[in-house]
Structure 1
Amino acid sequence: MELTNQYFMDKWPDVGKIIVTNKPRASNIWTRAVYYEGLMALHKINPKKEYYQYAYDWAEFHKWNLRDGDTYTRNADNQCAGQTYIDLYKIDPAPHKIKFIKASIDSMMNTDKIDDWTWIDAIQMGMPIFAQLGSLYKDDAYYERMYEMYAYTKNKMGANGLYNPEDGLWWRDGDFDPPYNEPNGEDCYWSRGNGWVVMALVRVLELIPEDEPHRKEYESDLISMCEALAKVQRSDGFWNVSLHDPTNFGGPETSGTAMFVHGITYAINNGLIDRKKFLPVALNGWNAMVNKAVHPNGFLGYLQSTGKEPKEGQPLSYDKIPDFEDYGLGAFLLAGYEIHQLAH
């Protein structure tokens, strides 16, 4: 974890530097925000001052506001940075640190609209913030609105909801609802899309009270996903980008694998799934990434670029640099945190 993180910090010493790929983007976009979630997890294990300072300086540069200063956005991607702002606030409370992210979420709470999360990535980007604010202010209204939005995406978005309980997996968005299918005729379950849901469920379960009315459903959904994912893990420990069609751009992929290791290991650590059955799944995934994706200098290989389906950024390889390196590293650090907890 330290090796991969140091590679990134050395590559991006200026926390406010504009990210330029096909166009310039502010450094508090969702990709970078997910990295900082991972950095804060590493900081829990090893509270180095430079880790905290790197995150703090990033938040300070952006004045603790959301992407491009758009406080009242309803776009979960652009709210994602707020997760780390709140974590930093909890270490050293000061009202200005959460002023903007709270205003953003409260502006959503002041409406009846619950259909914003039209793509499952949004569940990870936005849902945990409601849980954080609910926990921080001991206000169940945040939990209830969070559930309403989650349930809408799960059960109603697209044709009949983006979750398929029969398979225990999610379609990325309405574009991939049946009759859309993969070359082998199976449903299109994109690895990283499902990984975002896994990460969101873990984050929410870490935050909400034991007696929160919807906790059992979140736990049940995570358990179902763990069971579904264990069935389709590759023999080398990775997961394919297409979970039910290994022939459609098959091969190792790091971001989805990291997210699944994170979720499955959390479920083991918290007694949700059988340790004996699932521990090999988690360890095989972690060891695959460490032994086959992590370069000696800390660069992560086999990382799929941004997008929404298996074909994005293909072909992948050990040496190929994706369009963004940050979110995959964030997921890897979160996975490492849970692996570390196995022995502690």
Structure 2
Amino acid sequence: MKKILMRSAVFALVFSVLSSCSVQKPRANNVDLPNKKEVLQTAEKANQYFMNKWPDTRKEIVGKKVWPSNLWTRAVYYEGLIALYKVDPKKEYYDYALSWSEKHNWDMMRDTYTRNADNQACGQTYLDLYEIDGKKNPERIKFVKASIDSMMATNKVDDWWWIDALQMGMPIFTKLGRMTGEKKYFDKNYEMYAFTKYKHGGNGLYNPKDKLWWRDKSFVPPYKEPNGEDCYWSRGNGWVVAALARTLEDTPKSDPHYQEYLQDYKDLLSALLPIQREDGFWNVSLHDPTNFGGKEMTGTALFVYGMAYGINNGLIDKKTYLPVVVKAWNAISKDSVQPNGFLGWVQGTGKEPKDGQPLAIDKEPDFEDYGLGCLLLAASEVYKLK
């Protein structure tokens, strides 16, 4: 009887140990990966808060001015929503994006033939929905293509004079290039990118020494931060990270400029490694932590998106970047996303560290949509981590 009881006790102990092992978090390179279910729950909670607040997809956005709801801030949100839909295809996400696109007649903000990347950003979602539905509805890309083709018909390449424009505009060119198979879209995309990189502001908005980007010519030296460093705005560099990730996604490796995009992407990510904060976020001023130092979600989320994309696609070293991504994502999900889905530590619209300050966990920015878009982009790639 004693032997039977002893065997039973040993069996119970072994079973307990095996059971505890089976529920451990997945690990990669000795880093606990975020739980996939929890990643989706975080994204869903933040997104539901927004959808509940904005049930009418056409409702204008009223602030210092009245904005149509297909302006760039809302376009970035839908960009993130589509990314979430691709990993978690819920009908309500698709319907919400479709309603927004239809109510704007699949057109650019205010003017079909605008050259302003901010006004064209909504076209990214139109193109995605066109593909999601099997390219059966050509009206969805009619105005996007007309807008970009009107730019293609000129020799002008200096439109992207601020680095935010790279994220708003570049993915449209590369998506059209991939969809149509026409090389001209890739060529024009590079010409405009190269002008921003090498020419705007005198010698370009990219600093190869620091591997970071000035937001626009206003911040090219001799402009200095309070500590004497160059001004590199977190979200601005986040836009470049996202632009390059999305450009690499659609640009064929055979393209003559693919390797340059890839190198710029890798260099920018490498510059972010030593300046991540201990709490996982990045400061609004990348080289001056004393200039409005503190947590900031949007730039951090874009960096998470870009790094996780690189890991998932084998573009960057997983061992180096995975701990950085996990640390940043954990900071966002724990410190930024509130129980009701509200996002704290979101810097308002602007172009530099001082804009929208001071930040707080409960402060509502002037526009709340683009911050959520950044979060959803990050979540979509963190979810894919293996």
Shorter-chain TM band: over 0.9
Paired AA for residue 131 in structure 1: T
Q: How does 1:142-221 map to 2 (within 5 A)?
A: 142-221=185-264
Residue number in structure 2 paired with 1:43: 85
> CA offsets, 1:36-84, max 9 Å, x none?
000001101111111000000000000001112x000000000000000
Tell me how far 1:210 sits from its aligned partner: 2.1
Displacement over 4 Å in runs of 4+ = none
Q: TM-score by structure 1 length?
A: 0.99
In 1, the alpha carbon distance for the partners of 2:255 and 2:344 equals 39
Structure 2 unmatched ranges of 5 or more: 1-42
Tell me how far 1:283 sits from its aligned partner: 0.6
**Bigger radius of gyration:** 2
Tell me how far 1:267 sits from its aligned partner: 1.4
In 1, the alpha carbon distance for the partners of 2:382 and 2:259 equals 24
Q: How does 1:218-297 map to 2 (within 5 A)?
A: 218-297=261-340
Paired AA for residue 47 in structure 2: N
Residue number in structure 2 paired with 1:325: 368
For the pair 1:59 / 2:62, whether they are aligned, the reply is no
Residue number in structure 1 paired with 2:118: 77
In 2, the alpha carbon distance for the partners of 1:31 and 1:342 equals 27
For the pair 1:31 / 2:79, whether they are aligned, the reply is no
Aligned partner of residue 115 in structure 2, secondary structure? coil
In 2, the alpha carbon distance for the partners of 1:278 and 1:46 equals 25
For the pair 1:307 / 2:345, whether they are aligned, the reply is no
> CA offsets, 1:234-292, max 9 Å, x none?
00000000000000000000000000001111112222221111111111110000010
Residue number in structure 1 paired with 2:384: 341
Q: How does 1:84-99 map to 2 (within 5 A)?
A: 84-92=125-133, 93=135, 94-99=137-142
Identical positions, percent: 64
Structure 1 unmatched ranges of 5 or more: none
For the pair 1:7 / 2:49, whether they are aligned, the reply is yes
Aligned partner of residue 383 in structure 2, secondary structure? helix
> CA offsets, 1:105-164, max 9 Å, x none?
000000000000000000000111000100000011100000000011001110210000
Q: How does 1:86-125 map to 2 (within 5 A)?
A: 86-92=127-133, 93=135, 94-125=137-168
Aligned partner of residue 67 in structure 1, secondary structure? coil
In 2, the alpha carbon distance for the partners of 1:187 and 1:159 equals 16
What RMSD in Å do the two structures reach over aligned CA positions?
Answer: 0.7
Residue number in structure 2 paired with 1:21: 63
In 1, the alpha carbon distance for the partners of 2:275 and 2:188 equals 33
> CA offsets, 1:91-114, max 9 Å, x none?
122111111010000000000000
